[in-house]
Structure 1
């Protein structure tokens, strides 16, 4: 789902939250669940075991995908971690995309291709805590992907719509624009979680349920996790202004089952 630059979007109507608050990674809002997979980046980036970062099957060419209005060219060195915080950096590169645009190297973490090969599945709750970027061109997201499909967007964010998160179920259907002027803003930390229910996918922002799609993912859903910083090419949201690097930070990714 893409919110056009400068557009006005309506946020989701608040919904009641059940179970534990997940605003600080304290647990799943789904009763009875416990953590089955997590990374708090306290020991750097666990390349190989938990994460891969040099390619993804969601990109047409493995390490880049100009078809999706992205300037991305994946470079594993563009994700680093220090003091329990992962930093994703995007910067101009010497690569040229197939459409003639200059690519930006940028960071991506995916469980696809790692030795664990972890996949979320129906009923799981996945959560991340990120510091939203403020630079034009930034396009961070937590999402899922497998076999050309399996995409659930826990969130997408564009700084030109500074108080808005895009929440989308591409597996069946369902989408919403969540606007939160007190919780979503450039340079602000926010906790975002998604429960992949068979009959409804539910989204949480700072521990509060904000949207249920009433469609779900079905009983046999499974997919890899992706947390990344894409770079907009300018068709729907502004491309980077100049050559100043763009950054995003994350404190953890956790999955409960």
Structure 2
């Protein structure tokens, strides 16, 4: 196993969150991308406003690093039409993969049909462009029953409307930005990842949020995840511990 093949090196903080200017934020994204290229990491995951410049950087380096971005991040409450509009722009700018925050609040309120329609239409659009889609379910905001139910919903919609393309539709644990109480983890935990894996069927699972060292990353791969999203990717690849926070 080469852990680098599983790593999505991630920088998703806004300038406001990081205390940096937009120019300084771009420098962080650029550094992250160059490190991913130089160290053979699988992908970079960045905010939509930096996709076009990052695409050029990757192409100029003639690199195979995959370029991912996030949609309706980090709340997931945009309506489906707005999510597709964001995705359309991201693809036009050069994104290979799109990580959508699902409307988990709507799911929790009982609007299963509405969430299923969101999955159907967004899958249809992204897969129609021959791109990969990942659904962030925000496990820290859900109980076990809801994690199972939402994972099954994504699986069932995909199997019904996108048969044969299940490998391009991931279920992803977390944004890493959800605010929990009492110091509870807000990202990938072995317990939640197992629930997702047990109920995702043929859909691959991406662990994201709080994976900070090689041992944690390897444990996730051993459980069965296909990808890991982390702001600690380079440290993990080098077998080190990181203080990254998502």
Q: TM-score by structure 1 length? A: 0.29
Bigger share in helix: 2
Question: Whose strand fraction is larger, Structure 1's or Structure 2's?
Answer: 1
**Which structure carries more relative contact order (alpha carbon 8 Å, separation 6+)?**
1
